């Protein structure tokens, strides 16, 4: 029988899948913080409420948007613009609901359930597959058969079409 992954390992498995979904979902939008358009490979899934301190919101789609790596990793003031742009992206009502979820999390916490995380892994893996990929913009690699594939979606590259 296969060994079950711990919730911590499931979270680590889910995070890059979820972030990829967010980056693909927002690929035609600018950075949520600075408003610049940057290459896909120079973006992160940037959290408004950080994963440290707000783990219960780490997979909340209203809390995570495409953000350029500079803003997400190095700009200490990025959340000022993020907050203003977030209100425009999701609307004031959903923004207030997100703030309430953050307060609720701080008051009550959350304990991730293994089954819930496994379901999210399946859900977001499928969502990533459903989103269109603009393979013309992404670098390729060559698979074992020597065929070029997109690094982003793993489909045959536009070079092979």
What DSSP string describes 55-86? Answer: GGGTT-TTTEEEEEHHHHHT-TTHHHHHHHHH
Local structure of 133: helix, strand or coil: coil
Cα distance between residue 20 and residue 17, in whole Å: 5
Q: In tens digits, what is the pLDDT along the chain, a chain of 161 residues?
A: 567 889 999 999 999 999 999 999 998 999 999 999 998 889 999 999 999 999 999 999 999 999 999 999 999 899 999 999 999 999 999 999 999 999 999 999 888 999 999 999 999 998 988 877 655 555 566 777 777 666 666 655 544 33
What is the pTM (predicted TM-score) of this model? 0.81
Quote the pLDDT of residue 48. 97
Quote the pLDDT of residue 154. 62
Give 45: exposed, middle or buried? Use CB within 10 Å, 0-12, 13-18, 19+. Answer: buried
33, 67 Cβ separation under 8 angstroms: yes
Local structure of 144: helix, strand or coil: coil
Quote the pLDDT of residue 148. 66
């Amino acid at each position: 029988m296969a060994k079950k992954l711990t919730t911590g390992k499931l979270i680590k498995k889910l995070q890059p899948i979820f972030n990829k979904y967010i980056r693909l979902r927002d690929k035609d939008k600018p950075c949520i913080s600075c408003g610049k358009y940057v290459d896909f490979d120079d973006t992160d899934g940037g959290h408004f409420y950080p994963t440290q301190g707000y783990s219960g919101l780490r997979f909340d789609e209203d809390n995570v948007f495409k953000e350029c790596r500079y803003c997400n990793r190095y700009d200490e003031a990025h959340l000022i613009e993020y907050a203003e742009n977030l209100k425009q992206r999701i609307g004031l009502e959903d923004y207030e609901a997100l703030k309430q979820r953050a307060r609720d999390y701080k008051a009550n916490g959350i304990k991730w359930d293994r089954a819930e995380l496994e379901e999210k892994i399946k859900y977001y893996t499928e969502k990533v597959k459903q989103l269109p990929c603009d393979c013309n913009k992404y670098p390729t690699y060559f698979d074992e058969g020597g065929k070029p594939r997109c690094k982003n979606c793993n489909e045959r590259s536009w070079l092979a079409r």
